[in-house]
Amino acid sequence: MAEEPITKIEEIPNLDQDISKEKQKEADEEHERQSLLMYIQEIEERNRKRLEARAMNVNVKRPEESFFSKLDSSLKKNTTFVRKVRNFSASQLEGLLNDLKVLNLSKYVSEIASALTEAKLKVADVLPACELCCAVHRLYADFENALLECWKKALTIKADEPITNHLKYKIDLKIFAELVLMGLWATPQPSRGLQLLGSILMSLVHSSKDDFSNMTHILSFCRSFGEVYAGLVPREMSEASAKFGIQIPSITIIPVEKHRVVRQVFQDYYDLFCKHLIKNHNELQKFEKQSKTILHTKGELSSNRKAEHNDLSSEYHKLLDYARQFSEILNVPMPILPVEEVAKSEDTVIDDVLMNQGDKSSGIWEDEDTQRFYECLPDLHVFLPHLVPPNASRQQQQSVNEITEEVLDQEVEIPTKELSVEKKIEEPEVETVADTKTKYMFNDFLAHLPSCCNRDTVDNLAIEFVLNLNTKHNRKKLAKSLFGVNRTRLDLLPFYSRLVAIIHPVAPDVAGDLCHMLKEDFLYHIKKKDQINIETKIKVVRFIGELVKFKMYSKLEGLFCVKVLLQDFNHHHIEMVCNLFECCGRFLFNHTESHGRTKVYLEQMMRKKSVMALDSRYVTMVENAFYTVIPREGGQTIRKERPPMHEFIRQILYQELSKQNVGMIIKLLHKVDWNDPEVSAYVIKCLVNAWNLKYFNIRTLAGLVADLSRYYENVQIEVVDGVLEDIRLCLEVMLPKYNQRRIAMVKYLGELYYFHMTDSSDILKVLYLFITLGVTFDYNNPSPLDPPGHVFRLRLVCVLLETCGQYFGSGSARKKLDYFLVFFQNYFWYKYSDSYWTPENPFPARLKHMVRDCLISVRPKTIIFHSYEESQEAVEELKRHFMSKIAAETKTPPANPRELNPIEEKEEGESEFVDGNDDETEEATNEVSTEEEDQTFEGSNPHSQSQGDDIPILPEVADGEREMPIGLQRVECQEDEDFMSAFDKLVADQIQERMKERITPQQIDISVPLHIRASAKKTYEQLKETNEETATVNFILMLRKGNKHSYKSLNVPVMSELAMNLKEHEKAERMEKEKVKRLTLDINERLEEEDYQDMMTQSQRPTVSNLNRERRQKYQHPRGAPDADLIFGSGNRK
């Protein structure tokens, strides 16, 4: 009889569990039924739209020719319409349909068809594009043939030409299949479109029988049109239809016999793919078996073998995913993959090898300080000599509900009853503290908890609680206070966990209550599945991780949390599991009892990452968590120890520098001891190493250098020299690890030019260095500094041109940059035309687009070559132009070697070609730079990160070797001072004399003599005559013979240069006089208007008199005013 109540108590949870399972089963069935009904509704809706469009396209009645003659046939609007079609999107459909009604596009039908096939569309644009095609088809009869030819060119695959743009091809295939269903080619030959679609599918199948590279296109087609063209119904919908007795409607657009043919093609392709999958699976298993043997014998695997295993594994899992999708669509079973059994002892040995690589404690903890923090706790026996261990029954009661290995191996089911505990936890309890002083002490203890940010403070608080505050009520309240830590104070979690671990021998219920609340809160957030409160979720999992490391939370419980999160690996669960692995993953992985399961969960997480299409932020987060648990090969990076001043300089330049605080950084650098050679040299070294900054802070660093160069002359010279030397050095040392450094330094050089720290000649020298250093331009004799597959120099040129190329806008610098662009294009086509690039190994398309965009941005009107031959012809023509100029400038040497040639003045065009000055360029860039230079120090958050020390490439040069040879030095003497004083006096006297002279303007016009002027006057009769205007102009030519002047009349034609210049000069003088006259009159009128306005204002202003000035002051009696009622009485008043 004693066992009967126990049996009844155990039966109640089982009954509740059965009821919950029944409810869950009913809910799942209802969900499955609703999914089937929605699938049927979607099929019917799509078929209805297709049949309506097909009926309209088959029975189309096109307008007559007279209808099109009334429409707009302008070239501009028609070409605009074609351009809109080429850039088509779903939002433009309504506007294009309206344009179709008003435009006559009869002559542009083929162009519209070509534009539709060339447009880069999205999945959402498929149906709108089909609607546009149907609308054009209903107006123009020749559109269907033109469109069919365009689709034939775009979708036909050749055996030796693989698909380059898979995304565009996938969408184009969807559009073409949809147009076939809409009956665009249903007349006059109904099978034209269907035959072309069949040939396209056959070419997709036959061209990828070996590598199955077209599997994505086949799967996409089957998902979208499997039920129409092949009668395919997904396995899930087919089973639901049979289960609920709901028939899926059949589609009659394509005949049933065609369904069998297409289905058989897909079935054969699936069988071949399954054989390929099994072969890949066997190869992977064989490779893994060999790897385990090598690991058992040698103890480690090489990095190449690990990389090869990763490639095989990723390829296998991709094929396995394709097989699952294909089998689901075709409703056929998955292939059976044979699994080779491996002896258990072998796995055990491998795990032992992994576990015994080094010291156990060093594997669990990162360093000794971390190990002491988590393992070295204060001994409470010193403070409590009579301390008894915790009650065994209490520990046994707490461990009843813990997760066991058997439970962890089963499928995870989150009980719904756990959610109700959340409210029970948050309910406040009534305080029953008798001692008021103890209550105040405990409140003060809780108030000090958020400020415990070091080990000693936490230890003192724990000892204080054990000695003075250890009551049942305080323990419960402490657990709630620790659980309610602020979600943003993640730094407190390790110290709170240490507090719980210290007091655990005396107060084990604090750890039990806290772990229970954390578990309930964790399950609550998992069950709720919302996308809010991410900070609270991260706080919970990190708190659990810290308690796991202090062994307050069971390792199996922690692994249970990991398994629950991996089961639904999406959104916030990714961040939670990554934070949990970062917090305690290393601890779990290096413990013998949890190593195996942790390893499995890590592999599962990385597998999900590679299979799922995650955001880049999540991918980075998963990789960081994985490598936190299993560090990469090569060991930890040893941090270099530097003097405090060096650390300070690196901190302010590499960590804190940004546009927002650049002024403060400049003030701090001014306070540095620049007279100390070591400090100043280190500052300049840090200013040179721009690759240690974030990329967007490079311009800020260049502005900082420009500001410092105004106070310290050597900063500009040494920084620019260091940058140029580093660029040259990185070109000579061709290692891929310096690529980011090269880009940063080239960007830095361009920004230095923007701030006038260097001139255009240096930029051009660097540009030519990129395309000439070690370049042979001979395919048979490649250079080791510039091999055929090395195209990174093109990217460097583009970065430099995009940074400062826009400022080469005028003067000689513009011409020189134009010359360089010709040589740059020649270098690009030399690299592009190399036989190194094949269809299997194509030239990077992104780099090609980058070069083209760079050329267009720097010189929008430049001539872009399309082949290596064109660029070579342009280079040869440019060379001939240069040689002709050099030959013209070369003169015959003098006969006598001692004689010198006369100094010749060069013309402006020649000086621009030979001289290297860039004054005009600097003047052109001044307007741009002065406006932007002030904005350089505004705006951004200080987030820069140092990438470590500079990478030593060459040994340091001794200081004595850097000194330049000193020539003859000038010695000051007394004669020099006498000469300078006499020279200054002479200059001052000359200035005083010139100030006394009266400067008269030079007379340009020569007055005509009086006797000539009198003879040139016309009489009244001559003026009355209305003769036609003569074609000559009369000039007086003054001649001189000896000391006598003679004058001669000269008739010059009106169209001659002399007459035209005279007329232009007179016209300019007349216009200048009229302009001055007009300005003078305007000034006078404005002054008169202002005087008139002042006068009117004065007259209209009212005269205000100061009344207070004339008012007499009221007399006040010294003793106050007398009382009249008291003197005369108040009785006589009426």
Q: Can you give 1028-1074 as a three-state secondary structure string?
A: CCCCEEEEEEEEEECCEEEEEEEEEECCCHHHHHHHHHHHHHHHHHH
Q: Among residues of the chain, what percentage have pLDDT more than 70?
A: 76
**What is the C-alpha separation between 561 and 412, in angstroms, rounded?**
10
**What is the C-alpha separation between 403 and 555, in angstroms, rounded?**
9
What single-letter DSSP state applies at residue 72? B
Closest CA to 469 of 495, 493, 435: 435
Q: Which two three-digit tokens encode residue 304?
A: 């190449």
| Average pLDDT, integer, range 312-323 | 89
- CB-based contacts of 624, cutoff 8 Å, min separation 6: 578, 582
Q: Tokens 């090395």, residue?
A: 790
**What is the C-alpha separation between 160 and 509, in angstroms, rounded?**
73
Helices then strands, each counted (H, E), the chain:
49, 2
For the segment 45-93, what is each residue's pLDDT rounded down to a tens digit?
888 888 888 888 888 888 888 888 888 888 888 899 999 999 998 889 8
The answer on pLDDT for 1109 being more than 60 is no
**What is the C-alpha separation between 523 and 521, in angstroms, rounded?**
6
Closest CA to 219 of 322, 315, 320: 322
Is the Cβ–Cβ distance between 206 and 160 less than 8 Å? Answer: no
Q: Tokens 């932020």, residue?
A: 617
Q: Tokens 């413990």, residue?
A: 591
The pLDDT of residue 1039 is 79
Cα angle 445-388-512, degrees, rounded to a multiple of 5:
55
**What is the C-alpha separation between 501 and 374, in angstroms, rounded?**
9
**What is the C-alpha separation between 137 and 621, in angstroms, rounded?**
51
What are residue 1045's DSSP bridge partners? 1040
Q: Among residues of the chain, what percentage have pLDDT more than 90?
A: 18
The answer on pLDDT for 765 being more than 70 is yes
Q: Is the pLDDT higher at 524 or at 919?
A: 524
**What is the C-alpha separation between 237 and 224, in angstroms, rounded?**
15
Cα angle 824-826-831, degrees, rounded to a multiple of 5:
95
What are residue 1047's DSSP bridge partners? 1038
Range 60-213 classified under CATH 1.25.40.180: yes
Is the Cβ–Cβ distance between 749 and 758 less than 8 Å? Answer: yes
Q: Which two three-digit tokens encode residue 85?
A: 């079609």
- CB-based contacts of 251, cutoff 8 Å, min separation 6: 43, 47, 227, 228, 231
CA 115 to chain centre: 31
* CATH dotted code for 680-890+914-937: 1.25.40.180
For the segment 363-378, what is each residue's pLDDT rounded down to a tens digit?
688 888 888 889 888 8
For the segment 373-398, what is each residue's pLDDT rounded down to a tens digit?
898 888 887 777 666 555 433 443 34
**What is the C-alpha separation between 587 and 549, in angstroms, rounded?**
7
Closest CA to 129 of 84, 160, 164, 161: 84
Give the CA count within 13 Å in the CB-facing half-sphere of 108. 23
pLDDT averaged over every residue in the chain: 78
| Average pLDDT, integer, range 486-499 | 90
pLDDT bracket for residue 839 (50, 70, 90): confident
The answer on pLDDT for 1001 being more than 60 is no
Is the Cβ–Cβ distance between 580 and 628 less than 8 Å? Answer: no
The pLDDT of residue 1002 is 53
Give the CATH class of 227-234+241-357. Answer: mainly alpha
CA 927 to chain centre: 30
What single-letter DSSP state applies at residue 639? P
The answer on pLDDT for 672 being more than 70 is yes
**What is the C-alpha separation between 1063 and 1054, in angstroms, rounded?**
10
Looking at residue 929, its amino acid is S
| Average pLDDT, integer, range 426-450 | 68
**What is the C-alpha separation between 309 and 283, in angstroms, rounded?**
10
The answer on pLDDT for 917 being more than 60 is no
**What is the C-alpha separation between 493 and 545, in angstroms, rounded?**
9
What are residue 833's DSSP bridge partners? none
DSSP letters spanning 695-714: GGGHHHHHHHHHHHHTT-HH
For the segment 232-282, what is each residue's pLDDT rounded down to a tens digit?
888 888 888 877 878 777 777 787 788 888 888 888 888 998 998 999 999
Looking at residue 496, its amino acid is Y
Specify the length of the chain in residues: 1134
**What is the C-alpha separation between 805 and 792, in angstroms, rounded?**
19
Closest CA to 465 of 425, 433, 510, 429: 510
Give the CA count within 13 Å in the CB-facing half-sphere of 405. 5
**What is the C-alpha separation between 85 and 143, in angstroms, rounded?**
14
**What is the C-alpha separation between 777 and 316, in angstroms, rounded?**
43
| Burial of 588: CB neighbours in 10 Å, binned 0-12, 13-18, 19+ | buried
What single-letter DSSP state applies at residue 651? I
Q: How far is CA 356 from CA 243, 431, 590, in A?
A: 55, 53, 10
**What is the C-alpha separation between 585 and 366, in angstroms, rounded?**
12
**What is the C-alpha separation between 91 and 121, in angstroms, rounded?**
12
**What is the C-alpha separation between 512 and 394, in angstroms, rounded?**
10
Q: Tokens 């008739």, residue?
A: 1051
Could you give the 3-state DSSP secondary structure of residue 553? coil
What single-letter DSSP state applies at residue 454? S
Could you give the 3-state DSSP secondary structure of residue 631? coil
* Of the listed ranges 426-430, 488-492, 789-793, the one predicted with least confidence: 426-430
Is the Cβ–Cβ distance between 536 and 511 less than 8 Å? Answer: no
Q: Tokens 């099929």, residue?
A: 43
The pLDDT of residue 725 is 94
Looking at residue 64, its amino acid is E
Q: Which two three-digit tokens encode residue 43?
A: 């099929």
Is the Cβ–Cβ distance between 828 and 872 less than 8 Å? Answer: no
Is the Cβ–Cβ distance between 860 and 811 less than 8 Å? Answer: no
The answer on pLDDT for 791 being more than 60 is yes
Task: Give the number of other CB atoms < 10 A from CB of residue 525.
Answer: 21
Looking at residue 199, its amino acid is S
For the segment 104-158, what is each residue's pLDDT rounded down to a tens digit?
888 888 999 999 888 888 888 889 999 999 999 888 888 888 888 998 888 888 7
CATH 1.25.40.180, the chain: domain bounds: 60-213, 227-234+241-357, 362-386+402-428+436-629, 680-890+914-937
Measured over the CA atoms of residue 227, residue 233, residue 234 and residue 237, the dihedral's sign is positive
pLDDT bracket for residue 639 (50, 70, 90): confident
The answer on pLDDT for 438 being more than 70 is yes
For the segment 738-747, what is each residue's pLDDT rounded down to a tens digit?
889 999 999 9
Q: Is the pLDDT higher at 493 or at 43?
A: 493
Task: Give the number of other CB atoms < 10 A from CB of residue 615.
Answer: 10
**What is the C-alpha separation between 774 and 782, in angstroms, rounded?**
9
CA 845 to chain centre: 19
Could you give the 3-state DSSP secondary structure of residue 175? helix
**What is the C-alpha separation between 465 and 474, in angstroms, rounded?**
9
CATH number belonging to the domain at 362-386+402-428+436-629, selected among 3.40.50.720, 1.25.40.180, 3.30.70.60, 1.10.3720.10: 1.25.40.180
**What is the C-alpha separation between 1016 and 414, in angstroms, rounded?**
120
Q: Between helices 436-448 and 455-468, what is the axis angle to 10°?
A: 160
SS3 content of the chain, % helix, strand, coil (to 5): 65, 0, 30
The answer on pLDDT for 684 being more than 90 is yes
